[in-house]
Amino acid sequence: MGNVAKRSIGVAKRSFKIAEQTERTIKTSTIEWIDVGVLAGLYLVVIAALPAKVAVLTVKQNVNRMRSSHLAKFIGLDTPVEPGSQPVDIKTERALRDGDVVSGWRVTSPRGIRTHPVTGEQKMHEGVDLGTPTGTALFAPAATVVLCGDYGGGGTGASFDLDGYIHTFMHLSQCTPGSYQPGDKFAESGNSGSSSTGEHLHYQMQSLIGRKMYKEPNRSLLASVLSGKALGATSGEFTEKYKAAIAKQESGNSYSSVNSGSGAMGKFQFMPETAKAMAGKCGLPNVSSNEFIGNPDLQEQTMDCYVEASGIDDANENTRCRKLASYHYSGDPDLYDDGKQQSYAGKNYPSISNYTSTVCKEFQ
């Protein structure tokens, strides 16, 4: 990319920065028109200096932005919804917290005020960080256009628009711009950028329309990007809720718990052979029982793998929970309503129906 292109991109970034600052100060709904004004002016300047492929992708992505704005709707240029086609719905979910696990990866720094790891300053961290190793694949959650670029301290980054939001991923090791379908790989996580202190993935979400630019990062979209499952096929919130329910029942949330009778171990009481099977299925470390018990991250990743690999799904969350609990308890998801008392190694246990109803009472 030549110096003219770099200067043009610099102008664009500074102009967008001004737009963000302006957005925070304006108190009327006219802020929703800023997208159109900024994009129409800036992209005419920037596109001429960009390489052809990047220019085409930039136009394609941002035409969609402008056509979804209130001004476009006002003058009749908004994108029509084709019959049978519905927009992606990114629902409001519980904020991601420190220690949460999404598709096997632990949140190491949630959104909020924190001490900057490089400068030591107290400042707002607008995204969420996950402890992904370099090379962790990122997949498109829906049909979209991905742009790649240099985010300065954020290193190599990727962004796409979806459901009225800009979704941005930073500190990448690799990114390929282009048009993608659900499940297509578009990037890999890494450790790029001067603000990175180790291998991880930064994800942030910004509103295209509205007064507040940055939003709470979406769990389900992040689960889709990390798992390769299309948005709508993932269930980040359900998985976390289910894991909390099964851990409460099985171990009282103790990572070091071991059942002296059955040998089940850890927070989710996995049998050693099941833990090893999940390691092979999901590419997790194959460790000894003692190492498994002493590794909370691995236990969380194993349970995420277990839920996803089960293939169990149901529109009714209570039924889905009970099927998963039955699978965990008996190995057969279809026995969730079986009322016969269970036994193992000469010891009596609750019926599958009783067990699954207890575990899933919060899903009713």
CB count in 10 Å sphere of residue 299: 22
Residue 112 reports pLDDT greater than 70: yes
Question: Which of the following CATH numbers is that of domain 236-363: 1.10.630.10, 3.40.50.720, 1.10.530.10, 3.40.50.2000?
Answer: 1.10.530.10
Q: Which ranges in the chain are annotated with CATH 1.10.530.10?
A: 236-363
281-310 pLDDT tens trace? 877 889 999 999 999 888 988 888 888 788
22-78 pLDDT tens trace? 444 433 334 444 555 555 554 555 445 455 555 555 555 555 555 555 444 444 455
CA max distance for the chain: 78
Write the CA distances from 186 to 136, 223, 277, integer angstroms: 11, 15, 29
Residue 252 reports pLDDT greater than 80: yes
200-235 pLDDT tens trace? 999 999 887 765 588 888 888 898 899 887 775 555
Question: Which of the following CATH numbers is that of domain 101-113+122-227: 3.30.300.30, 3.40.640.10, 2.70.70.10, 3.40.630.30?
Answer: 2.70.70.10
Residue 171 reports pLDDT greater than 70: yes
Cβ-contact 244, 250 below 8 angstroms: no
Q: What are the tokens at 300?
A: 């969380």
Q: Which ranges in the chain are annotated with CATH 2.70.70.10?
A: 101-113+122-227
Q: Which amino acid is at 257?
A: S
Cβ-contact 28, 70 below 8 angstroms: no
Q: How would DSSP label each residue in 184-250? A: -EEEEEB--STT--SSBEEEEEEESSSS--EEPPPHHHHHHHHH-PPTTT--HHHHHHHHHHHHHHH
**Phi/psi at 175 (5° precision):** -150, 135
